[in-house]
Amino acid sequence: MDLHESASIRDFRAEAREWLRAHVPAEPLPSLETGEGFAAHRKWEAELAAARWSVVSWPEEYGGRGVDIFHWLAFEEEYWAAGAPGRVSQNGINLLAPTLFDHATEEQRARVLPSMATGEVVWAQAWSEPEAGSDLASLKSRAVRTDGGWLLSGQKTWSSRAAFADRAFGIFRTDPEAPKPHQGLTYLMFDLRAPGVTVRPIGRLDGKPAFAELFLDRVFVPDADVIGEPGQGWRIAMSTTGNERGLMLRSPGRFLAAADRLVRLWHEQGDPGDTALRDRVADAVIGARAYELFTAAGAARFAGGATIGAESSLNKVFWSEFDIALHETALDLLGPDGELADGEWAEGHVFSLAGPIYAGTNEIQRDIIAERLLGLPKGRR
């Protein structure tokens, strides 16, 4: 694995750094889990897109710069090091878009991707269902054939961004008689403001509606919004989850930047005599660096033609648990006031607590690691 940057990446990194230095808001935007913050972050997405920084790895025809994964990683490092806002469009950009590139028609890509890149249309993920949890194949929401499309009925829950988003994507059971649970599923996109859709926000620990429940009552979806062939939803969904658990959702740049902030916090407020806390700060730096190197190795394999497979479960378990440890170290440094303040560490800590649950619980990921990577026998279920 060659860790030396090419001249192309150095120039790209310098251009991104200069633009970010000139455009990142001087004051943090309001939390994107509020109506005001969501609108402010949507405007930021439009500003990024106007300079073609919102989706750098996409082809130019859809608003990107057509760069490879190594340029994207360099951009991510510069983005988070600059203290730029969180990405309100991440569900669409990091999860739905790769799925569209792999499985959608050209008409769908031309219709959906440009408005996603600008933040004009923000997407919510509609996977989980009551009593299904991480067992995605047991979902019960249905799509029934009708003239020109499908009628969706059922309930989705823990739908990220749905409280304020415009559209959603998920899989639905279209053949209840299929012999196995993961068969007879279809991948669909739908409008969260269509007749028959009820969105009920779910508050986090801090009360902000980071998630929502979706109640669907015969919601019409045209055939044009089916991704891939009907009945092939499971195969397509697995490519989405691979991106979600892998590096796309949590690039190393955000952890490197957070570890740097933690070190600054230690120098400002740390007690030199508290060696236990000092060691936790050091562990955070080591962890961020290790994740960067692990990601670089994965990117090299990916660039060589490999696909995202069960290794993405390793990523998911690591970044979700590392995120919590990093934020808990910061809050211990800040003391009791840290949890009460409405600052980035407190907000980040609340968000990190959900990490071991969403994108497939860590218990499920450990099963995948044991069975598919280590070759261990299946456990009792």
Catalytic (active-site) positions: 244
Q: How many CB atoms lie within 10 A of CB 307?
A: 11
The span from the CA of 135 to the CA of 182, in Å, is 10
Give me the residue label for tokens 């050209």. Answer: 106
Whether 217 contacts 143, CB under 8 Å: no
The span from the CA of 186 to the CA of 231, in Å, is 5
Q: How many CB atoms lie within 10 A of CB 3?
A: 9
Torsion angle (degrees, nearest 10) of CA 41, 36, 252, 287:
160
Token pair of 169, please?
């994507």
Positive or negative: CA dihedral 183, 155, 111, 240: negative
* Planar angle of CA 170, 190, 217, nearest 5 degrees: 90
DSSP state of 137: G
Return the H-helix or E-strand segment holding 108.
Answer: helix 106-118
The span from the CA of 29 to the CA of 40, in Å, is 7
